[in-house]
A and B are shown apart, each in its own frame.
Chain A
Amino acid sequence: MEPDRIKRKEVAFFGRITAGITHEIKNVLAIIQESAGLMEDVLEVIEDSAFAHKDKFIKSLDRIRRQIQRGIDITTCLNWFAHSPDRTPVSLDLNETSQQMVLLASRFARLKNVALETSPSDPPIVITSDPVSLEMALFESIEILLRAIDAGGKITLSPRKVQDRCVLGIGYENAALVKEDFPTQISSSERWASLQQTLTYLGGAAKTFGPTPEILLYLPDSIDN
Chain B
Amino acid sequence: MKEMKVLLVDDEEEFVKALSERMKMRDVDSEVALGGEEALKTMDEKLPDVMVLDLKMPGIDGMEVLRRAKKAYPGVQIIMLTGHGSEKDEKEARRLGVFEYLQKPVSIEQLMKTVTEAYKKKFEDAMSAAAFAESGEFDTAKEILDRDKK
List residues of A whose CB falls within 8 A of some B CB.
23, 26-27, 29-31, 33-35, 37-38, 41-42, 45, 68, 72
Task: Judge whether A34 and B19 touch: CB under 8 Å.
Answer: yes
**Given A30-B12, A30-B83, A38 and B18 contact (CB-CB distance below 8 Å):** yes
Task: Judge whether B14 and A31 touch: CB under 8 Å.
Answer: yes
Chain B residue with minimal CB distance to A36? Answer: B18
Task: Give the size range of B's interface with the partner.
Answer: 10 to 19
Contacts of A42 in B (CB 8 A): 25
Contacts of A33 in B (CB 8 A): 105
Task: Judge whether B104 and A45 touch: CB under 8 Å.
Answer: no
Q: How far is the CB of A30 from chain B (nearest CB, A)?
A: 4
Task: Judge whether A35 and B104 touch: CB under 8 Å.
Answer: no
Would you call B22 an interface residue if the criterion is a C-beta within 8 Å of the partner chain's C-beta atoms?
A: yes
**Given A27-B12, A27-B15, A31-B14, A37 and B108 contact (CB-CB distance below 8 Å):** yes
Contacts of B25 in A (CB 8 A): 38, 41-42, 45
Sample (24) of A-B pairs whose CB atoms are under 8 Å apart:
A23-B84, A26-B105, A27-B12, A27-B104, A30-B12, A30-B15, A30-B83, A30-B104, A30-B105, A31-B14, A34-B15, A34-B18, A34-B19, A34-B22, A34-B105, A35-B14, A37-B22, A38-B21, A38-B25, A41-B22, A42-B25, A45-B25, A68-B105, A72-B105
Contacts of A27 in B (CB 8 A): 12, 15, 83, 104
> Chain A's interface: helix, strand, loop or mixed, by majority?
helix
Task: Judge whether B18 and A35 touch: CB under 8 Å.
Answer: yes
Contacts of B19 in A (CB 8 A): 34
With A and B bound together, what is the CA distance between A208 and B57 in angstroms? 51
Contacts of A68 in B (CB 8 A): 105
With A and B bound together, what is the CA distance between A38 and B105 in angstroms? 14
Contacts of A45 in B (CB 8 A): 25
Q: How far is the CB of B131 from chain A (nearest CB, A)?
A: 38
Contacts of A30 in B (CB 8 A): 12, 15, 83, 104-105
Q: How far is the CB of A49 from chain B (nearest CB, A)?
A: 16
Q: How far is the CB of A32 from chain B (nearest CB, A)?
A: 9
Chain B residue with minimal CB distance to A33? Answer: B105
Q: How far is the CB of A62 from chain B (nearest CB, A)?
A: 15
Q: Interface readout for B1-30 with A: 1 if CB under 8 Å, 0 if not? A: 000000000001011001101100100000
Chain B residue with minimal CB distance to A29? Answer: B105
Chain B residue with minimal CB distance to A45? Answer: B25
Task: Judge whether B22 and A31 touch: CB under 8 Å.
Answer: no
Q: Interface readout for B36-53 with A: 1 if CB under 8 Å, 0 if not? A: 000000000000000000
Task: Judge whether A38 and B22 touch: CB under 8 Å.
Answer: yes
Contacts of B84 in A (CB 8 A): 23
Contacts of A23 in B (CB 8 A): 56, 83-84
Task: Judge whether B104 and A26 touch: CB under 8 Å.
Answer: yes
Q: How far is the CB of B55 from chain A (nearest CB, A)?
A: 10
Chain A residue with minimal CB distance to B18? Answer: A34
With A and B bound together, what is the CA distance between A37 and B105 in angstroms? 12
With A and B bound together, what is the CA distance between A165 and B22 in angstroms? 54
Task: Judge whether B83 and A31 touch: CB under 8 Å.
Answer: no
Q: How far is the CB of A73 from chain B (nearest CB, A)?
A: 12
**Given A33-B105, A38-B22, A72-B105, A26 and B15 contact (CB-CB distance below 8 Å):** no
Contacts of B12 in A (CB 8 A): 27, 30-31
Select one of B15, B21, B56 contacting A31, CB under 8 A: B15
